[in-house]
Structures are given as C-alpha cells and as structure tokens.
Amino acid sequence: MMEGTSRRTPGISLEDLFLKAAAGLPEGDHRAEVVAVALGHLQRGFDAHYGHGPGGATDDGVLVGDNAYALSVQTIARLDEPRFVEVAGRMIRDGAGRIASGEAVTVGTWTPHLAGLLDIVSGEGARRSEERVRLAARELRDGAE
C-alpha cells in the first residue's frame, strides 16, 4: 500500500479469519478451505483496486485486482453451489458500495457475509456461524497486536 493512504479494506486476512472460524468443523469437508482461498483472492482484489485511497488504483493495480477477482470466482465456482456465489456476490457489492460512499470496508462490514458462507459449510445456523466469525476476528486482532 502507498504511504500516506488509509487502509480501506480489513486489516486482517479474510482467508485466515474464515479458516479460524471453521476450525473444529467435522473433518472431510473441503469446502471451508476452498471458500477461504476464494476469500483470500477476493481480499487481494479489493486491496489492489481500493487500497490506494480515493485517487484510485494504478493501471497495474486494476489488472492485479481484476485477476484476483477472477481467481476468486473460479475458486468458489469449483464448489458448484450457487449459494456460495450468491453470498460472495453480495459481499463484493456491499464492499464496493461502502467504498463508493467514502467508507472503509471493515471485518464488521463483511461479518454477515462470512457467517453466511460459514453457515453453508457448517449447517450450524446463522447465529452460531456469526458467533464463530466474531470470535475468530477477535482472536486474530488480539494476536496481531
């Protein structure tokens, strides 16, 4: 990120956050790992497009961001489950909308979406999935300090 710009996307890894939130789910279901990788690509896309502040990304940043978004879509599409794509699409629209409004995209912005993705994987329900995401975010933030 360029010096002097404020961060406009979450300061913790969405990939790590999702994996931490999914920890302890029954073994053998690879979907959490696939979703986590897709989230990593998604976050890199947002950082490339929007990490440079209101002035926007460079041409190289746009290309990097577009490639990362494409990788995110390809990764999540491997699961062949429309619900994942629907939640991820809302996540992107909400994040882009916040940035277009001049606001930052925080983990809190994306918590309901991350919980939605986790609920698809876990089947534990929206409330439990959101609790898992919030706890994982808190643990990652505390560990980063």
Q: What is the pLDDT of residues 8-32, one digit of tens each?
A: 678 899 999 999 999 989 887 899 9
Q: What is the pLDDT of residues 54-97, one digit of tens each?
A: 566 677 778 888 899 899 989 999 999 999 989 988 998 998 89
pTM of the model: 0.86
Nearest to 25, CA basis, from 127, 139, 143, 123 = 123
CA distance 71 to 69: 5
Question: What are the distances in angstroms from CA 78 to CA 27, 32, 81?
Answer: 19, 12, 8
pLDDT greater than 60 at residue 46: yes
CA distance 67 to 132: 30
Structural domains for the chain? 14-144 (1.10.600.10)
Q: What is the pLDDT of residues 106-140, one digit of tens each?
A: 899 999 999 999 999 999 999 999 999 999 999 99
